[in-house]
Amino acid sequence: MRRGDGVKRAPDGGLARFFQAAAGGGAVASEAGGGAGRGSHEAMIEVVGLRKSFGKLAVLKGITLSVGRGEIVSVVGPSGAGKTTMLQILGTLSRPDSGSVVIDGVDVSRLSDNELSAFRNSRIGFVFQFHNLLPEFTAFENVCIPGYIGGRDRREVEARAAELIEQLGLSERRDHKPAELSGGEAQRVAIARALVNSPAVLLADEPSGNLDSRNRDEINRLFVSLRDRFGQTIVIVTHDENLAAMADRKIVMTDGVIA
C-alpha cells in the first residue's frame, strides 16, 4: 500500500485547492461551528415544536426531541411518516416552517445560508442509503473531500482521513475507486467521509438498507463502536430491527408525530 499516494498525484495540492476554491475558500467554516454560548452540558440536539408542510401536506406536526451527547437514537416508523424530512431538518438541509433546532449549542435558525453551509460541513456528518461516493476519486480522496471543502489544512485533513480509513478497516481499499469496492466497504468509506471533519452529530438515513445481512450487521456494529470509542452522537433512521435495538433509545414516528 502506498501511503500519501493522493499527495503524490497532486503535488501542488490540486484536489484540495480545487474544492477550497469551489467553496469560496471556506473562510467561514470555523466560525459557525464554534462561537459564544456553546456549552458542553446541554443536549447535543434539541428540537422543539418542528412543523413542516409541503403545500397542503402536513408532514411534521410538532416534533420535540432531545438527543444527548454520545447517544445513539434510532428512528423507526412506516414509510411516509416524515422520518427523512425530520432528519434533513436536523441536518440543516431543510428549514422547518416553525419550531427550533439547536445543535451543539448553536440555534441554526439564526444562521444565514452561507453560515449554514459552513456549519453543515463542519458539524454534521451524513450517511445515506446509497453511498453517494464520487466515482472518479479513490476511497481516500472521497474521505478527504469534506475536509478540503471546509478549507482545513490539507495535511491535517489527510492525516485524519488516513486514521479513519485505518480505524474503519479500509486500509487495503484506500486507493480503490468506488466501483472496485463491495457495498459494505463503500458504505464504510461513506461513514469515514461523514466523520472526517469530526462532526458534532452523525445522521444516517437507512444506512444499511441496501446491504446484505452480513454487511448490514457489520455496519450496525460500526455505529455502536463509533459511540463507544469516540462518543459520537448518532441519529439513525432505520427499518432494521437489529439496528434499532442496538441504539440507546428508539423513537417511533407515525404520521408526522413521535408516538
Ligand X SMILES: Nc1ncnc2c1ncn2[C@@H]1O[C@H](COP(=O)(O)OP(=O)(O)O)[C@@H](O)[C@H]1O
For ligand X, which is the closer residue by CB, 33 or 82? 82
Cell numbers for 146, please give them. Answer: 469534506
3-state secondary structure (DSSP) of residue 55: coil
Residue number, 85 or 92, with CB nearest to ligand X: 85
d(CA 72, CA 58): 27
Nearer to Mg ion, 43 or 59 (CB): 59
| 207 close to 45: Cβ distance less than 8 angstroms | no
Asked if 119 contacts 35 with a C-beta cutoff of 8 angstroms, the reply is no
Binders of Mg ion among 210-229, rule CB under 5 A? none
* Total of chain residues touching Mg ion, rule CB under 5 A: 2
Residue 211 binding ligand X, by CB under 6 A: no
Residue 193 cell numbers, joined: 467521509
11-19, 78-86, 97-105, 125-133 -> range binding Mg ion (CB under 5 A):
78-86
Q: Name the residue nearer to ligand X (CB basis): 77 or 147.
A: 77
Give the number of other CB atoms < 10 A from CB of residue 236.
26
Closest alpha carbon to 236 in 213, 202, 211:
202
Q: What is the DSSP string of 10-52?
A: -TT-HHHHHHHHHTGGGTTHHHHHS-TT--SSS-SEEEEEEEE
- Of positions 20, 84, 197, 233, contacts Mg ion by CB under 5 A: 84
Residue 117's binding partner, choosing from ligand X, Mg ion, none, with beta-carbon cut-off 5 to 8 A by kind? none
Which residues lie across from 204 on neighbouring strands? 127, 236
Residues 139-158 that bind ligand X (CB under 6 A): none
| Contact residue for ligand X among 10, 43, 48, 59 (CB under 6 A) | 59
3-state secondary structure at position 90 = helix
- The site map against ligand X for 77-116 (x = CB under 6 A) is x-xxxxxxx-------------------------------
The DSSP element (H or E) to which 7 belongs, if any, is helix 5-9
Whichever of 242 and 254 has its CB closer to ligand X, that residue is 254
125, 192 contact by CB (below 8 A)? no
- Rank residues 53 and 198 by Cβ distance to ligand X and give the closer one: 53
Which x/- pattern, by CB under 6 A, does the window 61-80 give for ligand X? ----------------x-xx
Q: Kindly list the residues in this chain that would bind ligand X in the complex (CB under 6 A).
A: 54, 57, 59, 77, 79-85
